[in-house]
Chains A and B, each alone.
Chain A
Amino acid sequence: MPKKRVAIVGTGQTYHKSHRPDVNGQELINEAVQRALKDADLTIKDIDAVVIGNMDHFEGINYVDCWSVDGSGGTMKPVIKLTTGGTTGSTLAIGGYHLVASGFFEKVLVIGWEKNSESDTTGAITTAFDPVWDRLVFAGAISGLAAEAQAYMAKYGATEKDAARVSVRDRKHACNNPHAQLRREITIEDVLASPMLADPIHLLDVCPRTDGACAVIMASEDCAGKVTSTPDWIWTTANRHKYTYLGDVNWGELDSIAEASREIYAKAGIREPRKEIDVIELYQPYSFAGIIWIEDLGIVEKGKGAEYIWSGATDMGGELPINPSGGVIACNPIGATGLIRCAEAALQVMGKAEARQVPDVNFAISTGFGGCMWSDMLLHGKRKPDF
């Protein structure tokens, strides 16, 4: 159990774009940090420790904890780097939570960032997999996701059109988010007519590559109320890994998110997630996941994901809006992506999400997804947790 309860008291994001040649990595980081400090009305002197991360094999800079201090504000402060692939951003959030919950640090600055424009994303992702058994045929994140989609479609009969509906939703939501990279609506026809990358995944089914950074300030219960009148309380977190080689994966079902969510529901006493959770920021790197993973999350029964998506229940104004920010399909600075989910969930709970605000959010979930197929999850709440 945590020694101290923990709240998010401020967030900051850059305006994410496909290419930011106007800033180097440290300067990009600094933009997000300055915005988070301003949001919380704090200065860097108030920060006790920094947790920073990216997917370091993208930029090929492997001492980011030290290299980034000009931008992060970490000069002569405790700094640790966390990097866990696609889940880096959500792992940063979980790591920051642990540091504050432990009672060792009162205010922690959590930073995720990526300059995907500076290298070859698919090549770099391939180096995250086993050199002997995985890499001969592995082709970056999309190949694994395609294998998942094929397995799911064979089992439950979902179609490419069903998946396209998810892309249409997220891209529409993104128009409400000034920080999203892709802010133009698309149609189902656009998705189906876009180039096939890896069957059944079309170009408009998947996330882009983005330059961007996100910073989140976490504070212990001893001071959170003094920093903000609307803290976002982190109720609990969970994380799961399952396989060594990609051939070991139970394709078509995301076991890691299923187990992580059950841990979170049990800890928080959530019996009916569909009714008790008000909004989800899902790390959903491609459209089919918007169908498959809501089943694994226990939002709907197996095989019912597509029907739920078509009903509009996950659109803004629906029963359970998913990705009001536009999600990963609209914006994907990979090391920041999971932390953006966390920050966006925090904005929803704090009532600061502006045009993308879901009304009356008591519980929000943010998730992280890695490579294929590991998961992180956080539960955010308006009320201070009672444990």
Chain B
Amino acid sequence: MAAKENLIVESKGSGQPFNYAVGMHGSRFFKELRENRKLLGIKCPKCGKVYVPPRRVCGECFAEMTVFVEVGPKGVIGTFTILRYAFIDPETGEQKPVPYGYGFIRFDGADTLFQHYISIEDESKIKIGARVEPVFSEERKGNVKDILYFKVIDGE
């Protein structure tokens, strides 16, 4: 049962026959997110780029990365779209909750973008460069859904 609780994605009551490892770096990201609501990036020793999510190797420099840096939790919309067409999510077999905001968030202090939902309560606020912050889940399990979505911050 413990394994089932750790499933990243649930398909209603059914599990899926996939069991992906996120690696030591991904695990540390999820642990910090779950326990401290903190977001971690990792810095390349060669080019200085800060990657989110953290991973072991900077592909461009092909260099091992070991230096974690805290990023966010606020950031800006790097790019985005609003999904309006209905389609079945192959992960769950259920229809995606369209329309929804699909954000690429650049956390403060990060160079790459983090993909997540953006609240589209007011679509006119969804713009590249808009300031956003995450809304965390009360019950966090150590996966990407520990962030429920991002929302645009007024007045910043």
Cβ of B4 under 8 Å from chain A: no
Question: Do the beta carbons of A132 and B128 come within 8 Å of each other?
Answer: no
- Residues in A whose Cβ lies below 8 Å from that of B81: 143, 146-147, 150, 198-199, 201
Cβ of B100 under 8 Å from chain A: yes
Question: Do the beta carbons of A137 and B102 come within 8 Å of each other?
Answer: yes
In the assembled complex, the Cα of A199 lies from the Cα of B78 at a distance in Å of 15
Which stretch from B50-58, B64-72, B132-140 is at the chain A interface?
A: B50-58
Closest to A154 in B: B128
Cβ of A142 under 8 Å from chain B: yes
Question: Do the beta carbons of B128 and A151 come within 8 Å of each other?
Answer: yes
Question: Do the beta carbons of A123 and B51 come within 8 Å of each other?
Answer: no
Cβ of A252 under 8 Å from chain B: yes
In the assembled complex, the Cα of A124 lies from the Cα of B87 at a distance in Å of 11
Q: Which of B52, B79, B82 contacts A251 (CB 8 A)?
A: B79
- Residues in B whose Cβ lies below 8 Å from that of A137: 100, 102-103, 115-117
- Residues in B whose Cβ lies below 8 Å from that of A246: 104, 113, 115
Cβ of B8 under 8 Å from chain A: yes
- With both chains docked as a complex, state the minimum distance between the C-beta of B116 and any C-beta of chain A, in angstroms: 6
In the assembled complex, the Cα of A383 lies from the Cα of B79 at a distance in Å of 44
A132-B20, A133-B53, A244-B59 known; A198 vs B83 contact (CB < 8 Å): yes
Cβ of B18 under 8 Å from chain A: yes
Contact with B along A226-249 (1 / 0, CB 8 A): 000000000000000011111111
Count: A-B pairs, CB below 8 Å: 115
Question: Do the beta carbons of B84 and A197 come within 8 Å of each other?
Answer: yes
Contact with A along B79-98 (1 / 0, CB 8 A): 11111110111110000100
Interface centre among A126, A150, A249 (most CB of B within 10 A): A150
Cβ of A135 under 8 Å from chain B: yes
Question: Do the beta carbons of B102 and A150 come within 8 Å of each other?
Answer: no
Question: Do the beta carbons of B78 and A251 come within 8 Å of each other?
Answer: yes
A120-B90, A135-B91, A137-B115 known; A243 vs B8 contact (CB < 8 Å): no
Question: Do the beta carbons of B85 and A247 come within 8 Å of each other?
Answer: no
Cβ of A59 under 8 Å from chain B: no
- With both chains docked as a complex, state the minimum distance between the C-beta of A121 and any C-beta of chain B, in angstroms: 9
- Residues in B whose Cβ lies below 8 Å from that of A151: 78-79, 128
How many chain A residues have a CB neighbour from B under 8 Å? 40
Closest to A123 in B: B90
Cβ of A127 under 8 Å from chain B: yes
Question: Do the beta carbons of B102 and A247 come within 8 Å of each other?
Answer: no
In the assembled complex, the Cα of A221 lies from the Cα of B75 at a distance in Å of 57
- Residues in B whose Cβ lies below 8 Å from that of A245: 53, 112, 115
In the assembled complex, the Cα of A127 lies from the Cα of B91 at a distance in Å of 8
Question: Do the beta carbons of A126 and B80 come within 8 Å of each other?
Answer: no
Q: List residues 238-297 of chain A with CB under 8 A from any CB of chain B.
A: 242-249, 251-252
Closest to B22 in A: A132
- Residues in B whose Cβ lies below 8 Å from that of A244: 55, 59
Cβ of B26 under 8 Å from chain A: yes
- Residues in B whose Cβ lies below 8 Å from that of A134: 115
- With both chains docked as a complex, state the minimum distance between the C-beta of A173 and any C-beta of chain B, in angstroms: 26
In the assembled complex, the Cα of A249 lies from the Cα of B82 at a distance in Å of 18
Closest to B103 in A: A137
Question: Do the beta carbons of B112 and A247 come within 8 Å of each other?
Answer: yes
Question: Do the beta carbons of A247 and B80 come within 8 Å of each other?
Answer: no
- Residues in B whose Cβ lies below 8 Å from that of A242: 59
Cβ of B145 under 8 Å from chain A: yes
Closest to A138 in B: B115
In the assembled complex, the Cα of A246 lies from the Cα of B53 at a distance in Å of 11
Cβ of A223 under 8 Å from chain B: no
Question: Do the beta carbons of A132 and B114 come within 8 Å of each other?
Answer: no
Closest to A241 in B: B59
Q: Which of B20, B79, B87, B127 contacts A131 (CB 8 A)?
A: B20
In the assembled complex, the Cα of A201 lies from the Cα of B83 at a distance in Å of 10
Question: Do the beta carbons of B87 and A139 come within 8 Å of each other?
Answer: yes
Contact with A along B105-148 (1 / 0, CB 8 A): 00000001111110000000001110000000000000111000
In the assembled complex, the Cα of A125 lies from the Cα of B16 at a distance in Å of 18
Q: Which of B26, B85, B104 contacts A132 (CB 8 A)?
A: B26
Question: Do the beta carbons of B91 and A126 come within 8 Å of each other?
Answer: yes
- With both chains docked as a complex, state the minimum distance between the C-beta of B139 and any C-beta of chain A, in angstroms: 17
Q: Which of B80, B88, B89, B127 contacts A147 (CB 8 A)?
A: B80
Closest to B105 in A: A247
Given contacts A122-B88, A135-B91, 11 further A-B contacts (CB under 8 A): A122-B87, A126-B91, A135-B9, A136-B116, A147-B104, A148-B79, A151-B128, A198-B82, A198-B83, A199-B82, A242-B59
Interface pairs (10), CB distance under 8 Å: A120-B87, A122-B88, A126-B89, A131-B20, A132-B20, A136-B144, A139-B96, A147-B79, A198-B84, A247-B115
